């Protein structure tokens, strides 16, 4: 009913059975016939409508033609017989926006493949997704047979509004096109006896879940980001009741409401995995705000606030305009509809800037960007301000280095931490590293050769897939290289599964003109602080292989934040590891002298000052390109959930969101800061300015991107000329 091929198949089937010859009529012809039918209708004293005579042959032929075409061709029905209320609360014939046309095209593509339609829509405000979906459900319920449909929203008011769209559309159809309702609704809002179809209504407050004890085929859930216990109500209940079939029509849609919870998790997983053999269930679709050209802005708004003749967009507006252009250019269906040289219309840019400035003046710029989002990063902004700029971390994620996975066995590593046989890549070669150490025993110091074996592991295409765990696996982004110095930051956990013990390895810049690079990461929630020492020694030994200036990497184990780091550090000292970072004051007369004479080994987050010093330098390095972070878990899981909080004392504090972690952040920050704590940022700033002389590098506009991909990484420097 959505693709031209399927429409033609349906029509031909009816033609073969009945001999009917289809005729497509214009809107004007449809209006003329409907007006004619109204002249045949009267209302009796009780308010009941009746028809003064039966339809004649020509009228019945028209009705049969229209009913068959409407049933077969969703576009024909929706542009001739569907009505909605517009922004001014006026009932008018449905006119499809460009984004709504794209929705129908996507449905047609799935229909051509005989797939079910199961989609997740992340969107800006009022771009028309709910309207199109409710029209599609009305069409299926009215013309289908045995359709079990449901619609719902997070709160009852929104659910009632969705029902209102359905009922308005049904009431405005000619009575001869309406499926006859039945009084036997069996708990449904509306039911139709002639074709055994029904529509049920749900809300996010449903106790047990959506579709418990039912088997729906058509579902529309709105504002899913605000549904409580969505993993239970939707994923555990609804998804189990909907089975793959070409008849399935499942639409989940919502604006963003923070970056924590089932909705953002489902969006990210769908975007990363849809279309793969072992992939996501829901097709991800993102619709930005500017597609609703009839609302943003309205003619009334422009009359009151016309675009000044001499207006020049502010820098933040120009950046937003670049994002819009980049999104259109990298989304094939958008590019086809709006043109490859698309630029945001001047009146829309003016509208955005005026409203943004007002929201910013009220300290609510975040709210404006979330509701009027240009990409999914803006749509899924956290409810609190973030420490790290999301576009900077997303750009790093898109450019991250390739990775190989390894298990570590050997000296002091217990059997319970050895890899599972099914995880081992037996086609790749293993290797060993060794170091000469001194083991402290009850008899004193004894020399010993310590040996570790690195076992190659199978690496999935998507490290962030839900069915893959990085726990206990070493991620190697870059192997040891000659002449470089390496630093290692360690944040230890309890080993009880609640938090991670993390090792992060950095390759230091040689000249200060190139960035430091995160070359490896190891994390596990099952390894205790004492056990962690063996893993740190193994990784340090690996990266000491090519070192010449120093015998081994500089290591700092966090000492105070969790109270477990001293156990790991002590075990390393007992094994003869010597190059530990010395913590000292940074604000004395001679910080370097203080560091040389310090007796505090490791990184001590003993005060708010030490924590702020560590994180501030690290944030600056990440956002200015002085450090290349490669861990997908750090970039996608921890940095986007590291937020700015306010302590009870009123002081600002940086901390992870509830239910999230920051172990990788601290380990990586330590690895960077211990190599740069006493370095002047002047050299880094100078190097950055030198590297940016001239124009920004050209953007490869031929890079293929799926519909739901973020485009912030190519927004900077976009030039449509």
**What is the model's pLDDT at position 240?**
87
Position 335 pLDDT exceeds 70: yes
User: Strands 283-287, 218-222: parallel, antiparallel or unpaired by DSSP?
Assistant: unpaired
**How far is it, in rounded angstroms, from Cα 523 to Cα 475?**
9
Alpha-carbon dihedral of residues 695, 699, 700, 703, nearest 10 degrees?
160
Q: Which pLDDT band, with edges at 50, 70 and 90, does 683 fall under?
A: low
The answer to whether residues 316 and 209 belong to one domain is no
Q: Per-residue pLDDT averaged across 623-651, rounded?
A: 81
The answer to whether residues 458 and 518 belong to one domain is yes
Highest mean pLDDT out of 74-83, 257-266, 267-276 = 74-83
In a domain, 393, yes or no: no
**How far is it, in rounded angstroms, from Cα 198 to Cα 214?**
12
Class of residue 359 by CB neighbours under 10 A (exposed 0-12, middle 13-18, buried 19+) = middle
- What range does the domain containing 462 cover? 398-679
| Encoded tokens for 611 | 């924590």
Position 707 pLDDT exceeds 70: no
Instruction: Give the containing element (helix H, strand E) for 516.
Output: strand 516-524
- Domain-terminating residue out of 287, 314, 336: 287
pLDDT tens, residue by residue, 388-413: 787 788 888 888 899 999 999 999 89
pLDDT tens, residue by residue, 500-519: 999 999 999 988 888 999 99
The answer to whether residues 543 and 495 belong to one domain is yes
The gap from C-alpha 209 to its chain's centroid, in whole angstroms, comes to 24
In a domain, 15, yes or no: yes
**What is the model's pLDDT at position 232?**
86
**What is the model's pLDDT at position 321?**
92
Q: What is the mean pLDDT of the chain?
A: 85
Position 671 pLDDT exceeds 80: yes
The answer to whether residues 44 and 103 belong to one domain is no
In a domain, 375, yes or no: yes
| Encoded tokens for 279 | 């992939």
The number of domains in the chain is: 4
CATH code assigned at 584: 3.30.420.240
User: Strands 404-410, 473-476: parallel, antiparallel or unpaired by DSSP?
Assistant: antiparallel
The answer to whether residues 624 and 555 belong to one domain is yes
In a domain, 582, yes or no: yes
**What is the model's pLDDT at position 690?**
43
In a domain, 423, yes or no: yes
Position 449 pLDDT exceeds 60: yes
566-525-572 Cα angle (round to 5): 30
The answer to whether residues 319 and 349 belong to one domain is yes
Position 90 pLDDT exceeds 60: yes
| Cβ count near 331 (within 10 Å) | 22
Q: Which pLDDT band, with edges at 50, 70 and 90, does 215 fall under?
A: confident
CATH code assigned at 117: 3.40.50.300
Class of residue 575 by CB neighbours under 10 A (exposed 0-12, middle 13-18, buried 19+) = buried
pTM over 0.75? The answer is: no
- Dihedral of alpha carbons 704, 706, 707, 710, sign: negative
Q: Which pLDDT band, with edges at 50, 70 and 90, does 259 fall under?
A: confident
**What is the model's pLDDT at position 692?**
45
In a domain, 34, yes or no: yes
Q: Per-residue pLDDT averaged across 103-119, rounded?
A: 95
pLDDT tens, residue by residue, 138-174: 999 999 998 989 888 887 777 888 888 989 999 999 9
Q: Are 718 and 699 in contact (CB under 8 A)?
A: yes
């Amino acid at each position: 009913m959505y693709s031209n091929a399927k429409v033609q198949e349906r029509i031909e089937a009816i033609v073969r059975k009945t001999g009917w010859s289809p005729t497509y009529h214009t809107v004007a012809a449809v209006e003329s016939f409907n007006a004619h039918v109204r002249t045949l209708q009267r209302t009796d004293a009780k308010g009941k409508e009746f028809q003064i005579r039966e339809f004649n042959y020509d009228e019945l032929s028209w009705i049969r033609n229209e009913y068959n075409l409407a049933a077969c061709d969703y576009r024909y029905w929706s542009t001739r017989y569907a009505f909605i209320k517009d922004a001014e609360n006026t009932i008018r014939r449905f006119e499809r926006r460009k984004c709504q046309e794209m929705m129908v095209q996507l449905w047609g593509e799935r229909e051509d493949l005989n797939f079910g339609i199961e989609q997740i829509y992340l969107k800006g405000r009022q771009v028309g997704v709910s309207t199109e979906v409710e029209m599609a459900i009305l069409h299926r319920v009215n013309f289908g047979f045995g359709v079990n449909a449901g619609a719902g929203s997070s709160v009852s008011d929104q659910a009632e509004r969705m029902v209102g769209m359905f009922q308005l559309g049904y009431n405005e159809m000619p009575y001869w096109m309406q499926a006859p309702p039945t009084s036997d609704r069996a708990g449904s809002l509306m039911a139709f006896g002639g074709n055994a179809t029904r529509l049920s209504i749900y809300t996010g407050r449903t106790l047990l879940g959506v579709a418990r004890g039912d088997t729906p085929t058509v579902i529309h859930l709105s504002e899913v980001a605000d549904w409580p216990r969505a993993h239970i109500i939707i994923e555990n209940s609804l998804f189990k009741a909907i089975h793959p079939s070409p008849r399935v029509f499942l639409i989940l849609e919502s604006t963003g409401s923070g970056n924590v919870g089932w909705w953002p998790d489902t969006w990210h997983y769908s975007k990363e995995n849809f279309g793969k053999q072992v992939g996501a269930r829901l097709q991800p679709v993102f619709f930005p705000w500017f597609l609703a050209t009839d609302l943003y802005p309205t003619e009334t708004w422009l009359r009151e606030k016309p675009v000044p003749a001499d207006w020049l967009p502010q820098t933040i507006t120009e950046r937003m305009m670049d994002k819009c252009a980049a999104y259109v250019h990298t989304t094939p269906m958008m590019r086809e509809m709006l043109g490859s040289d698309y630029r945001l219309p001047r009146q829309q840019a003016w509208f955005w800037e005026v409203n943004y400035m007002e929201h910013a003046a009220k300290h609510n710029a975040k709210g404006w960007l979330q509701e009027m989002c240009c990409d999914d990063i803006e749509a899924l902004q956290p409810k609190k301000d973030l420490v790290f700029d999301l576009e900077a971390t997303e750009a790093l994620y898109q450019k991250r280095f390739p990775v190989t996975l390894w298990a570590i066995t050997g000296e002091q590593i217990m059997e319970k931490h050895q890899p599972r046989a099914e995880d081992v890549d037996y086609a790749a070669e293993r290797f060993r590293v060794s170091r000469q150490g001194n083991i402290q025993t009850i008899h004193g110091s004894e020399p010993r050769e310590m040996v570790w074996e690195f076992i190659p592991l199978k690496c999935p295409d998507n490290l962030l897939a839900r069915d893959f765990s990085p726990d206990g696996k070493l991620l190697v982004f870059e192997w040891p290289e000659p002449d470089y110095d390496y630093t290692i930051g360690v944040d230890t956990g309890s080993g009880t599964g609640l938090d991670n013990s993390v090792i992060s390895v950095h390759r230091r810049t040689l000249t200060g003109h190139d960035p430091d690079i995160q070359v490896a990461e190891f994390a596990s929630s099952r390894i205790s602080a004492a056990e962690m020492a063996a893993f740190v020694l193994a990784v340090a030994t690996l990266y000491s292989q090519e070192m010449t200036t120093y015998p081994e990497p500089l290591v700092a184990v966090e000492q105070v934040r969790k109270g477990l780091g001293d156990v790991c550090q002590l075990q390393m000292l007992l094994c003869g590891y010597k190059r530990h970072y010395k913590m000292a004051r940074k604000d004395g007369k001679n910080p370097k002298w203080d560091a040389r004479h310090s007796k505090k080994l490791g990184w001590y987050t003993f005060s708010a000052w030490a924590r702020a010093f560590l994180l501030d330098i690290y944030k600056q390095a990440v956002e200015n390109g002085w450090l290349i972070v490669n861990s997908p878990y750090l970039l996608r899981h921890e940095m986007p959930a590291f937020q700015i909080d306010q302590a009870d004392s009123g002081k600002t504090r940086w901390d992870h969101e509830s239910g999230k972690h920051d172990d990788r952040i601290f380990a990586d920050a330590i690895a960077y800061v211990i190599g740069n704590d006493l370095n002047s940022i002047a050299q880094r700033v100078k190097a950055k300015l030198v590297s940016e002389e001239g124009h920004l590098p050209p953007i490869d506009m031929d890079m293929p991107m799926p519909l739901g991909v973020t485009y912030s990484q190519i927004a900077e420097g976009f030039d449509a000329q």
